[in-house]
Amino acid sequence: MERFKFLRFFSFRTQHDFLPSSNPVRENLINGADTDTNGEHRDGFFSNLVYGFLRRFKSGKKIDGGSKTEEEEKVYSWLYALARSEIYMAFEYVRSTERGLSFTEAEKRLKENGPNTPLEYTFPSSWHLLWSAFFHPFNIILIVLSALSYITSDNPNGCIMLILVFISVSLRFYQEYGSSKAAMQLSEYVRSPVKVQRCAGRVVQTELIVQVDQRDVVPGDIVIFEPGDLFPGDVRLLTSKHLVVSQSSLTGESWPTEKTADAREDRSTPLLELKNICFMGTNVVSGTGTGLVVSTGSKTYISAVFSTIGKHKPADSFEKGIRHISYVLVGVMLLVVTIMILVEYFTFYDLSESTLFGISVACALTPQMLPLIINTSLAKGALAMARERCIVKSLSAIRDMGSMDILCIDKTGTLTMNRAIMVNHLDSWGAPREKVLHFAFLNSYFKSDQKYPLDDAILAFVYTNGYRFQPSKWRKTDEIPFDFMRRRVSVILETESNPEGRNIQPFYRFIITKGALEDVLKVCSYVENVDMGEITAVSAEHHHRILNVVEELRNEGLRIIGVAIKNLQQTKISKQNMENEDDVESDMVFLGVIAFFDPPKDSAKEALWRLAEKGVKAKVLTGDSLSLAIKICKEVGIRTTHVTTGPELEQLNQEAFHEKVKKATVLARLTPSQKLRVVQSLQSVGNHVVGFLGDGINDSLALDAANVGISVDSAASVAKDLADIILLEKDLNVLVAGVEQGRLTFGNTMKYIKLSVIANLGSVVSLFIVTLVLRFEPLTPIQLLVQNFLYSVGQIAIPWDRMEEDYVKIPQKWSVKSLPMFILWNGPVCTLCDVATLLFVWFYYSSGGKLDESFFRSAYFIQGLLMQTLIFHLIRTEKIPFIMEIASWPVLASTVVISAIGIAIPFSIIGDFMGFTDLPLSYFGFLVVLFVGYFTVGQIVKRIYIVVYKKWL
């Protein structure tokens, strides 16, 4: 049963219903955002939207991922329009002023728009979980048959069926109840006090800075923010000073982005790269500013994106197949049972006995153990994965892992170690230079500001490689700390010896700067040529050569920082004002670059190779840069011949989008909604069973939409809530074990389904034929129910059976064609064996053309039970049973025990009570010949079926 999520969202009204409906500015803003002056729609937005809308009604299928949802399109249009407009127009659009809203107006808008929360959620109750575990077609069938059994005074049979239902439902409920209290936790990203500018006063209004809860922020509010603050809604910047924002909650990229109020954007800029728009759920890293809140609550970008959660989960093909079988069996049952009751009645004219016999036949036709076998197999798989340090939240995910043929994975922390390692130190000509490393080391060693991972990487490289730079000979006199506007850090050091080896003086002072390459080059006027031993002015040629060297390094997936120095004369430095950073960090000498790499995990390449051997292809979906993703993928063995980026996908129509997603193995710079659409495209158009491994809030949409959502214990709470499986270790090898376990679970479940349908249909057809020929019941109701009970008990061992090696090498999916074809080829063989038994007993043991009813029922009881027990060994493997392939010991033990009990019953006191009689030894000789013939004919039929199905169909 698929995972139930009871997420309840605020109603998503028209995106801008807080604007006057008759406002012509609003109409032009929303409807004309993508329209050129000649009236043609840019990118075919409305034509594509209408076509997609009508296509959904026509096909009746879910969105295939090729286009944005209507809600996303509204949000995109609104934000792009604001990004492209002047500030004074932004106030006009949201009906606000530069002084802010009054308290009365803010309260009015809060009532109109509701609390500023992206969505509302409730935890699933235990009753919901119990209902989802209970509501299965076969459970309903068993309950109905149990009720009919009690009505006809067949209490033991009714009790048995209720027990089966109880065990099945209890297993499912117990497994999913522990992890059911998982819901969206987006509120943790947006719940904090917010500084808002409001105006008050009856005659003379005064601007006030007040602090309100983020739930009370409304469109039109002016917010003031500083480092550490979260944006309470989608915000159009009004002022900004050195503003740097982290958007990792939306993009997954750890590197922050600069924002500025003065930017004027156009539609070609990706939405999340707009410089003058900040999004709900993101936070300020550094700098300050003010902004106009343009969207709150369910109208924000994050809400529009995440409101699709729970709405695009693909239909479970296995569950659909099970339900189809259920409906077919119910139809067959009603038809056959009705005919059997009528034949029985018109033969003996006993309605009560005929009805009881019909119910017994219905019980024999029903795969009573199906819910129990499925849930036992899944529970066994969950326990096996728990030993591999996996928490299984949704049992059906285990089976889906057996069908999974594509695994989409995030790069950072999954394929990589998620830590920087220094790999090289190069001068401006691209040659390794120790001097570059020396001054980079001194900068990292003496900086007193927060140490970053890159500093630790430099220090570790120096210490582990035996360099002796003697920092004790240096003394720090001052420091210019790092900030996200300059993107560099400088330290001023003093030493008694000249590290440059020239012009001996009493002491020397140097300013050493390192940081983002582009920002370091801005303050460099010179470049050092080590080979020539001279310092020359930076020319266009030098600049071009440095950028070429760096471009080559970045194409290899390396992260680069620049290093520069400046020799400060004592008389000059004492006069400089250290607060003037531009004067101090100027006319510097560019030394070179330091290269870093986030190395792949040692286990990643092996795990991906093992997954590929099992038919699971890997696709990397990341928010990071394309060059870095390609570098990592090459290291772990993922092909990079077809790659793409999120901005490239945005420009494609649906058909081109699906084709690009189908071929690409690396997709970089993806937004959360783009990851969702990629997963949906693979599912709908590619007909793949998709697994997604992610750990960030930006992965939540894809985790929810994937057939198998996989996260890790250290992931964001949202990702863990939506995942089906949680890994306690970030190791892909665990997934290999999960795939194997999923295919084992799927295979054993399919064994039971094939066994039940073939055996049950065959036995019912045989009962019908024998009843018509002999004109009496081949088995009494009690005999039929005992036979069915023993047969069902013997099937409990099926979840502990093993699978052939070839079976677990390829993904296993529910096939609409294979099961009916298998039944048509193999079902008649069972019926022929039953008819052969009838003919043998009739011609060999009848006296004067009359056949003793007790004798025939005893013979037919044993033959039917042995047939239904042994048939499992024929259908469980494509090889020759008992010779080339042997079942697991629990299955063999179950076969022996049930067969022995079935043979012994007619010779026991219980047999006398049930109306059985003793059988001669010759009959058991016939059974040996019968079953040898059955296995021979069955093997031939099975081989022909395999050849026909695999090669022709």
Give yes or no for a contact between 561 and 591, defined as CB atoms under 8 angstroms apart.
no
Burial of 534 (0-12, 13-18, 19+ CB in 10 A): exposed
pLDDT for 564: 94
pLDDT for 64: 61
pTM exceeding 0.85 = no
CA torsion through residues 522, 449, 190, 677, sign: positive
Nearest-angstrom CA–CA distance, 65 and 701: 12
The rounded radius of gyration (Å) of the Cα atoms in the chain is 37
Nearest-angstrom CA–CA distance, 100 and 510: 50
Among 453, 586, 422, residue whose Cα is nearest residue 519: 586
Q: What angle in degrees, to the nearest 10, is found between the helix axes of 351-365 and 137-151?
A: 160
Nearest-angstrom CA–CA distance, 464 and 458: 10
pLDDT for 896: 92
Q: Could you check whether 391-416+601-728 and 421-569+584-597 share the same CATH topology? A: no
Residue 148 DSSP symbol: H
pLDDT for 349: 67
CA 244 from centre of chain: 31
The residues that bridge with 492 in the sheet, in sequence order, are 478, 511
Residue 152, helix vs strand vs coil: coil
Residue 510 DSSP symbol: E
Sketch the domain layout of the chain as residue ranges: 391-416+601-728, 421-569+584-597, 742-949
The amino acid at residue 157 is N
Residue 513 parent element (H or E): strand 508-516
CA torsion through residues 174, 175, 179, 182, sign: negative
Give yes or no for a contact between 668 and 643, defined as CB atoms under 8 angstroms apart.
yes
- Backbone φ and ψ of 353, nearest 5°: -65, -35
For the chain, 953 residues long, the average pLDDT of each consecutive 10-residue run is 34 35 43 41 36 35 60 86 89 90 91 76 60 67 72 68 72 56 42 82 74 89 88 92 80 74 82 89 85 90 73 65 72 73 69 68 68 76 78 78 87 71 90 92 86 86 90 88 80 76 61 91 86 80 88 83 84 49 83 88 82 90 82 84 89 89 90 87 87 82 86 74 80 81 84 78 76 75 78 83 83 74 75 85 77 85 87 83 86 91 87 84 89 85 74 58
Residue 475, helix vs strand vs coil: strand
Our answer to whether residue 410 is catalytic in this structure is yes
Among 27, 5, 6, residue whose Cα is nearest residue 15: 27
CATH architecture of the domain covering 421-569+584-597: 3-Layer(aba) Sandwich (3.40)
pLDDT for 129: 66
Choosing from 405, 410, 598, 724, which is the catalytic residue?
410
Q: What is the 3-state secondary structure (H, E, C) of 765-799?
A: HHHHHHHHHHCCCCCCHHHHHHHHHHHHHHHHHHH
Nearest-angstrom CA–CA distance, 42 and 80: 13
pLDDT for 293: 94
The residues that bridge with 194 in the sheet, in sequence order, are 212
pLDDT for 177: 57
Beta strands in 201-262 (DSSP E): 206-213, 222-225, 234-246, 257-258
Nearest-angstrom CA–CA distance, 933 and 945: 18
The amino acid at residue 437 is L
Nearest-angstrom CA–CA distance, 130 and 177: 9
The CATH topology of domain 742-949 is: Calcium-transporting ATPase, transmembrane domain (1.20.1110)
Nearest-angstrom CA–CA distance, 606 and 636: 8
Task: Give the CATH number of domain 391-416+601-728; options: 3.40.1280.10, 2.60.40.60, 3.40.50.970, 3.40.50.1000.
Answer: 3.40.50.1000
CA 232 from centre of chain: 28
